[in-house]
Structure 1
Amino acid sequence: MGDRLKDKVVFLTGAGSIGPGWGNGKAAAVAFAREGAKVFALDLKSEAVEETAQIIRDEGGIVETAVCDVSKAADVEAAVKKAMEKFSRIDVLHNNVGIIDPGGPEDLTEQQWDRLMDINVKSIYLTCRNILPIMERQGGGSIINISSIASTHSLGYSCISYSASKGAVNAFSRDIALNYGRKGIRCNSILPGLMNTPLIHMGNVTDVYGSTEEMVRQRDALVPLGHMGDAWDVAWASVFLASDEAKFITGIELVVDGGITLKVK
């Protein structure tokens, strides 16, 4: 166990993995705990968040959980209230929840568009609306929003709602950084590139490539380092931005992509 985040309380959404293996939120929750943080972990699925929590407990970490639909105001308010009852403060807000629907405007229903925007963007508004006042009273805090290189570059296929939502995350993060900096609150976004996590093995992503094997082959070949990243690459970037090592860093878009944006225009 490290101590880079000793005694800090992390409020983390999307802490369960969507499938077998390590998703971004699951890895981040464990990484935060390994660096001494007390983690308040949320997920829509109780089994998923409890699996993450059990890993933390087995390693001697401190974690509390809640089942929460972060696109619903009442759910988020209740989760923040529970976190404060358990830990009395929130030092780090890590917004990790996100979904993807491939396709252009003509491919997506209005319901698909609204659902994705609610999950990818509205959730961040709701957590910040509830947690910013807490951080203000405490005299500071760190907010980390998971975006994507899809906000600035093409992924090689159309995913217009996802790209638009992640562009909104970047703009939202910059605005928070600018307007809350004098209150001691930092806000940064992380832009993962092509990552080999359970999310990309869902049918609506693999269908674009024809098979899982072909998807992995093509995506690995695009990356200058020769392979996709994984959830731990994003997790350790998150630990850095949450820590006092990053105390003079705010408003950035930290690209974690193995160099792919150097060649994809």
Structure 2
Amino acid sequence: MRLQDKIAVIIGAGQSPGVGVGNGRATVLRFAQEGARILAVDRSLASAEETCEIAKNEYGAIEIVPFEADVCKESDLAAAIAFAKEKWGRIDILHYNVGISVSGKDGSPTEITEEAFDLITHVNLRGCVMACKHVLPIMQAQQSGVIINISSISAFQRYPWVTYKATKAAMIEYTKQLAIENAEFGIRANTILPGLMDTPMAIDTRARVFGKTREQVVAERNVKVPLRHRMGTGWDVANAALFLASDEAQFITGAVLPVDGGGLVNLPR
């Protein structure tokens, strides 16, 4: 019960179609298992509701509420934060786990379109900034809070598509800014960098976009992972988020935590 009596807003609590569990859903389930009360936010209310049902039926969720919000709309994010504050009186954890790349038609520096750049930037970065904008006054007033933003090791690794890499790199520095500017209020802000993950968004989306089988995509990615040549899963990201959200990490802020099976260690120098 490491999150007992904690109120968490998890943005990106649903899941893309496919096999296995995504980072956002896994985080909801782990937080529920550890005693948090959760607002499960997603653009698909049906997917958020499905996550909530699993959390209640299989993970002992004490209290969990689905909420529909489009991260491209500041008003939706403000409404989600306001709902959680009104319902529970405080917000202890904001977890931003939304990001798109190939599904948003990302491209190379010479092929990226204005429409794709704007969409991916709005989802990956602007949504994060706007969610934090509305939760910070609440956390500042209560003199405590945890913000966890999900970036990617693509911020540092070679990555062919421009917008995902740029937004995930920007998220790291933005979160560091949050950490230092809000340390006096007792607010901690940290970034998790997933590596190659076996999740529906990472695998099934790529299989559809590039016309490959799921097995082909899995094999191509597994071989690139130094640790046991096997990708991580949503549970690996969820467990890292659980640690950062808990009081066990009370002296950690501004950190950048890779969850990548040694991917960053393997970068050429």
TM-score, with length taken from structure 2 = 0.93
CA RMSD, aligned part only?
A: 1.4
Describe the SS at the equivalent of 1:190. Answer: strand
Alignment of 1:138-157 (within 5 A): 138-155=142-159
Q: CA deviation at 1:106?
A: 2.4
Alignment of 1:97-176 (within 5 A): 97-101=98-102, 102-155=106-159, 158-176=160-178
Identity of aligned residues (%): 41
Further displaced range: 126-135 or 52-61: 52-61
Q: CA deviation at 1:60?
A: 2.9
Describe the SS at the equivalent of 2:264. Answer: helix
Partner of 1:39: 38
Q: Does 1:48 align with 2:47?
A: yes
Q: CA deviation at 1:108?
A: 2.0
Q: For 2:250 and 2:262, how far apart are their aligned partners in 1?
A: 25
Partner of 1:10: 8
Contact 2:204 / 2:214 at 8 angstroms: preserved in 1?
A: no
Partner of 1:19: 17
Alignment of 1:61-100 (within 5 A): 61=61, 62-100=63-101
Contact 2:148 / 2:190 at 8 angstroms: preserved in 1?
A: yes
Contact 1:173 / 1:189 at 8 angstroms: preserved in 2?
A: yes
What is the CA deviation profile of residues 183-226 of structure 1, one whole-angstrom value per residue up to 9, with x for unaligned ones?
10000000000001001234456645844322211210111121
Describe the SS at the equivalent of 1:52. Answer: helix
CA change 1:176–1:208 in 2 (3 A) is: same
Residue ranges of structure 2 left out of the alignment (5+ in a row): none
Further displaced range: 13-22 or 118-127: 13-22
Q: For 1:99 and 1:78, how far apart are their aligned partners in 2?
A: 23
What letter matches 1:109 in structure 2? T
Match of residue 185, structure 1, among 187, 204, 209? 187
Between Structure 1 and Structure 2, how many residues are aligned?
261
Q: CA deviation at 1:107?
A: 2.0
TM-score, with length taken from structure 1 = 0.94
Contact 2:14 / 2:51 at 8 angstroms: preserved in 1?
A: yes
Residue ranges of structure 1 left out of the alignment (5+ in a row): none
CA change 1:252–1:205 in 2 (3 A) is: farther
Q: CA deviation at 1:182?
A: 1.0
Q: CA deviation at 1:10?
A: 0.4
Contact 1:104 / 1:159 at 8 angstroms: preserved in 2?
A: yes
CA change 1:11–1:141 in 2 (3 A) is: same
Q: For 2:49 and 2:211, how far apart are their aligned partners in 1?
A: 33
Q: CA deviation at 1:261?
A: 1.5
What is the CA deviation profile of residues 71-97 of structure 1, one whole-angstrom value per residue up to 9, with x for unaligned ones?
211111111111112111100000001
